[in-house]
Chain A
């Protein structure tokens, strides 16, 4: 039973840690399916994390914070669009620039606003996303009623009730939004006219242009959706997973999301499984540090590096080849 409780707890933290990855991964999915490579996911998340935490701290409203986060991420998206769509610049270099811009600007503005060494004040009350308790789930209310701790109640509950209370219930609303985005993304991309055009513009923009649809417009739309999702991902990091912004708090999550995107071969459902897998690796590394498997110790660093190693293996095509959208990374020039 104790093992089972631990397992459920690890899976619970897997969901929490996979959420920002999933949002960023789906963000990258829209952008890259439309032919715009985006290695600036990290920067957009970071910028959104800062502005959501800053505005939530100043106004006391986490929803205003979320909006501010999305807006800041959208501005960076616009910059990426300007560089890679309008001025036909190198999309990868633009992404690198955006990552650095976010890394520098967040600390600069945080220092100038809050003077706390590049962080925001800790968020509390309405400044944070509360966890949503499902009906009949074991939560703080039950603990108060019975006078026992939540973890105590959890270990006494039966398996189904435990899964329901710990794993499914008690997350912030953004977690449920993130997982609902998976079927939504699948539906948009594969069941709507917009989705068909978006995928076409990533494979053969000339054909879309010939059909009389604006390539530039579609690509800007994709980049904007990417900005919104990155904004939610950043806001989740700073206002739900943690209580406030600290310097470089994305800690490479944007790149893990990118890795997950390749791992999933640019498909929404696979993206969810890839993000859950990488989230699980993070959760295990967080909980166990070095793992002893019958005498062979797996150092924690292996867990840290595993998402990247797996991605390289997938990219190498030894386990099913990952082929990116054909027009990815190429600026579209009318009438060559």
Chain B
């Protein structure tokens, strides 16, 4: 018998965790001498009050959807892929290579090429930790952390010593050619008399991210492979008994996870920066952990959590602009969300389970 109704597990617990994180964040804002109500007002108007704000919110949300899905897929196989950051960096390298060195006739074909390249590079970066976990039993968390640092050093090398244009001081690649510039929301939704999303970086990759959510949902809940991944995540011994190979599932789940993290690069590298710069990922790989935890590893949950974090990011930037609250407030909120929805999950769950058991006994 379930201790709790399903809706409580899916909706109530994340909600309570979120409220706890919000209360603590408000206390932090109070403690540094600012007004939390005013701060929230500023964040809402800054992130959601205009199409410009929405353009940034959705741009960030696109990044977080990709990295959130990446962490979520690995979670289903009970693997903790902390290396989304490095995989997204490598995805960026893949995007930069195909955009710079292949003469694309049109952005639409280039987007397909860039998707393939970013997924390939991201998956390749996840492949080694996956192999080591599956075959040698090296802990995936440690190896993926190490691979984040190796990726950062590798990218630094590529940008400074290899891909930097002649005569440039900046550790970045040349700008991508005009033909591979992706359509932004401004060019897609503006009419002659009404310009919307002016100057905002949201672009067509947002719809790729939505598609990725649907595809991941179908993969996890509607295919044999998805069933095997979930079965393995649920119980390794059970899965082995059912003839599911742990090595195969570990490697496949990590490859999918790495590919999704790498895919983020079509948004931040191809869509926004239109060249590869150092630290292009800006920690989005780590935010994916918070997004996946809050979204309960379900693509729809990931979608909602990504929008929430997009809002926090854009709102936080506005706060830093208009008040003396630095952007790092968002990092604190992110930490609190990870803490309450991830590590302290039982703190919320245990009393709730008792409550529901009590209610049920009362009803009988």
Contacts and interface: CB of A to CB of B under 8 A. Distances in A.
Interface of A: 39, 79, 82-84, 87-94, 96-101, 103-105, 107-109, 111-112, 115, 118, 252, 255, 258-259, 262, 299, 301-302, 304-305, 308-309, 311-312, 315-317, 324
Contacts of A94: 339, 342-344
B111 interface: no
Contacts of A88: 346
By size class, the interface of chain B is 35 or more
A312 B153 CA distance: 15
Contacts of B286: 96, 100
Contact of A316 (B136, B153, B160, B339): B136
A89 B146 contact: no
6 contacts: A84-B343, A97-B342, A118-B328, A255-B146, A308-B147, A315-B146
A324 B137 CA distance: 11
Interface of B: 28, 31-33, 80, 82, 128, 132, 136-139, 141-143, 145-147, 149-150, 153-154, 156-157, 160-161, 286, 289, 293, 324-326, 328-336, 338-339, 342-347, 350
B28 A305 contact: no
Contacts of A79: 339
Given A259-B146, A317-B136, A87 B344 contact: yes
Nearest to B332: A104
Contacts of B32: 108-109, 111-112
B286 to A, nearest CB: 7
Nearest to B128: A312
A100 B154 contact: no
Contact of B80 (A92, A311, A312): A92
B344 A103 contact: no
Per DSSP, chain A at the interface is helix
A255 B85 CA distance: 15
A254 B156 CA distance: 21
Given A101-B335, A104-B334, A111-B326, A309 B343 contact: no
A107 B328 contact: yes
A89 B156 contact: no
Given A93-B343, A96-B286, A108 B149 contact: no
Given A89-B344, A312-B147, A316-B136, A103 B328 contact: yes
